[in-house]
Structure 1
């Protein structure tokens, strides 16, 4: 058993809770995971049962501690991260009135679309740093007010999934700036709740939690929780940040010249800036982290989910010796690797789940262009990966357009386990990309906030010195040159199809 000091980071994600134990030098001692599913009560809804979140958190912490084999009294602090854009309505006794409505839930889309392009939308973006889009909880509260007035009237407070679990840990409600910013309800410049957004939502400031810096200590553990987790009740609880911020911190991207390229189910290109940065065209978002840092970037809906769509669609037509149960993402990546860069003329616009940054086009649809009788599933597989790379090229261009000088890109998320996918994105961006040795960067970032709050770090920037980096991928010149040409075609296809996207959306009713 290890008797030295250690820190605990908890990452409450969209589909699982991951926990990590690190020592005072940031070295990983143990890791655990607890799973929970989602529900789809109606078409385009996505919720989680809040009762499952605490159970998964406890399972992940217990697993991490068992594997770390540390003295339980050595914990100097714990911190929790949470997925952005969730919302949960609670009654006056803090009982849930809804499920946890996640970022992928679509019920706020029409309220957002009704505001798009208006003076209200422009004012909201300049105040909150959030482009008008239905993923933000602001628009889901508007939906509740219109479609579920009885729930809206009975709601005593609105919280994120992390706030709900955090309250189970400590008995107190509080929210860090980043999660608050991701609600669309925070004034990103003044670091207080936005009067304009509250008025639009029809709610009071008192229905939202007090705002805290991610390094702030927030009491200690409730006795029953401490007993369940197996750590002392006196363990300092540090507020922590969002999973997006933690992913960057855990990857070592802690300065304005470093970006994190994350591809999981969705994807994002993010920079931690020392000042709030807004885009006059509203292509990017700007979320407050604390009084000195802001997370600036863009996100895409179609990351790994696009590859999963191809896998799930292909499975039923595969030969009997490769049944749907055997088909995997690795099969798709292997197929993609069998054709050269450029997919021999097939270009994919991977908007299978619509589009977020930079154009925030709900009506965008997936397209395979240039397919002939000479092409097969291998070319479609490669073109999807390349299309996702071009999406990141668009994000990179948008960030450059608002004055961010990115000199280093660090990879995180599931794609960082695939050499082929990493090389494709590297070539599409025509920039080097480095992969941190520890892949669960969001959990590690949460542990770093615990270290900062407990005095183990002087500044969050110091976390970068604790992250061990792995392989660096460099652009292959001929591939990068080819992708430059294809990207121009990709943009022309997108522009040409804009009217058709809108017409198709009307026809499909989506």
Structure 2
């Protein structure tokens, strides 16, 4: 008995096979291109997704010697917010506009102005951001009215793969939450938002819980992939919700921190709540409950920039060299603070003009201090989201950290010290694809609930306790850090205009 987890990322699809005991038997990744036809635009061809996915499924079954009939369920995860629009004959009408596309700033302003933020929060639990799906639909309406009039179906990226596998138009609540067309509290499409967009509800897919079966592999997909016709496909989850399942962050008190290219602070909650200032996203979770999430645009990418671009002469061992130097520097980096806004910021400021900078630099600082301050600055930025979560009275008992930055023991200790909380590593390292496979196992009844599956399969392998002396110093520095953006906001804006 085996389960497939498919994670449709921005640059590649990752496919894993998991056995019934949670062991990952193998994985494959298949790349596909991103197109940037204009400044601030980012698009992909949905057919590229399917070609890579179908080839990847066929390859992993052959590679691992697994027969199609041995796969008992399939779970889907993937990049959120993208728009796939199709006509009545199920043809894709235009390239998919991706989550990172920034063309819809004007549409976001229009939505907020016309509906006002209080109503947006009431209807969707969130504010209008360029990455979300609703502004993309409005952009199509404004700039390609001929295409808008032909729209019969709107799908999210992973749900296009579902359509190709099953022929069904379906999605699930966690991914739907990121469309700005979904009533997160009621776990259903928002009639008010659809009326505003002049989009009929029939154009949107039927919405399921993440662990529910949404369809079965059809004969055409079976022929292309090697899967058995009739294999169940469950709802799955948006990449962050599926990733949280893959780390076991499905119970109140467990918070996950993803130290990837971007940084994500994710906390599940048993009851729906929303930050009154909409600094956090409020979405449905993949376990039938809810979660809040803060996203900073540059996290481990700050260290990558420092090592590979600024200090690229160090070669292959650059990360090891710089991290070793940073480990020899006292906590606080001798009064040096790094602002990690290399790509603008999303939480808590939502400001594309925000800039990265070193504050407090003097002649005594060396490269090790600068490296450590980058690690500390990203961790301070993640704490911004933690503080909002605390304001919402969401309990935090432990932090589970994943992503490339989590490989650094130094970074895990700094995070523990700045958060003032125990930071744990876990045995699962396959991310959203693993969470999707777990959801598939729950969907066919192998486990009674998502929580039961995570309790059984995911174990803590390493823990970092906060060091009291370091935490006291970091508390003082954080109070300085969180005032720096407000001090420099106007300066950032002026620099953008030059």
TM-score (norm 1): 0.91
Structure 2 counterpart of 1:472: 463
Q: Is the 8 A contact 1:30 1:65 kept in 2?
A: no
Change over 3 Å in CA distance of 1:490–1:291 after alignment to 2 = closer
Q: How does 1:444-483 map to 2 (within 5 A)?
A: 444-465=434-455, 466-483=457-474
1:435-476 CA distance string (max 9 Å, x none): 111211211110111111101011111122211321112223
Residue 329 (structure 2) aligned to one of 308, 328, 339 = 339
Q: Structure 2: where are the runs of 5+ without partners? A: none
Residue 360 (structure 1) aligned to one of 350, 369, 394 = 350
Q: Which runs of 4+ in 1 moved over 6 A?
A: none
Q: How far apart, CA to CA, are the structure 2 residues paired with 1:409 and 1:283?
A: 20
How many residues align? The count is 497
Q: How far apart, CA to CA, are the structure 2 residues paired with 1:369 and 1:240?
A: 43
Task: Tell me how far 1:118 sits from its aligned partner.
Answer: 7.8
Residue 488 (structure 1) aligned to one of 470, 479, 483 = 479
Alignment of 1:283 onto 2:273 = no
Task: Tell me how far 1:160 sits from its aligned partner.
Answer: 1.1
Task: Tell me how far 1:379 sits from its aligned partner.
Answer: 3.3
1:299-337 CA distance string (max 9 Å, x none): 11112233333345325xx54xx46xx586556545544
Q: Is the 8 A contact 1:19 1:443 kept in 2?
A: yes
Q: How far apart, CA to CA, are the structure 2 residues paired with 1:149 and 1:203?
A: 13
Task: Tell me how far 1:264 sits from its aligned partner.
Answer: 1.3
**435-444 vs 91-100, which deviates more?**
91-100
1:395-444 CA distance string (max 9 Å, x none): 11100101101111111222222222222222221211111112112111
Structure 1 counterpart of 2:490: 499
Q: Is the 8 A contact 2:80 2:157 kept in 1?
A: no
Alignment of 1:274 onto 2:270 = yes
Q: Is the 8 A contact 1:121 1:131 kept in 2?
A: yes
Report the aligned-residue RMSD.
2.3
Q: How far apart, CA to CA, are the structure 2 residues paired with 1:130 and 1:484?
A: 30
Structure 2 counterpart of 1:13: 9
Q: Is the 8 A contact 2:209 2:288 kept in 1?
A: no
Aligned residue for 2:400, secondary structure, equals strand
Residue 254 (structure 1) aligned to one of 220, 241, 250 = 250
Change over 3 Å in CA distance of 1:69–1:33 after alignment to 2 = same
Residue 303 (structure 2) aligned to one of 290, 300, 307 = 307
Structure 2 counterpart of 1:229: 225
Task: Tell me how far 1:114 sits from its aligned partner.
Answer: 5.1
Task: Tell me how far 1:167 sits from its aligned partner.
Answer: 0.8
1:245-292 CA distance string (max 9 Å, x none): 111111111101111111212121112222211111222221123694
1:93-145 CA distance string (max 9 Å, x none): 33223322221111122332455588622211232122232111111222222
Q: How far apart, CA to CA, are the structure 1 residues paired with 2:70 and 2:20?
A: 11
Change over 3 Å in CA distance of 1:422–1:64 after alignment to 2 = farther
Change over 3 Å in CA distance of 1:417–1:203 after alignment to 2 = same
Aligned residue for 1:167, secondary structure, equals helix
Q: How far apart, CA to CA, are the structure 2 residues paired with 1:102 and 1:420?
A: 34
Residue 401 (structure 1) aligned to one of 371, 391, 401 = 391
Change over 3 Å in CA distance of 1:491–1:116 after alignment to 2 = farther
Residue 379 (structure 1) aligned to one of 340, 350, 369 = 369
Q: How far apart, CA to CA, are the structure 1 residues paired with 2:147 and 2:358?
A: 43
Q: How far apart, CA to CA, are the structure 2 residues paired with 1:401 and 1:410?
A: 20
Structure 1 counterpart of 2:340: 350
Q: How far apart, CA to CA, are the structure 1 residues paired with 2:66 and 2:92?
A: 36
Q: Is the 8 A contact 1:430 1:475 kept in 2?
A: yes
Q: How far apart, CA to CA, are the structure 2 residues paired with 1:409 and 1:231?
A: 38
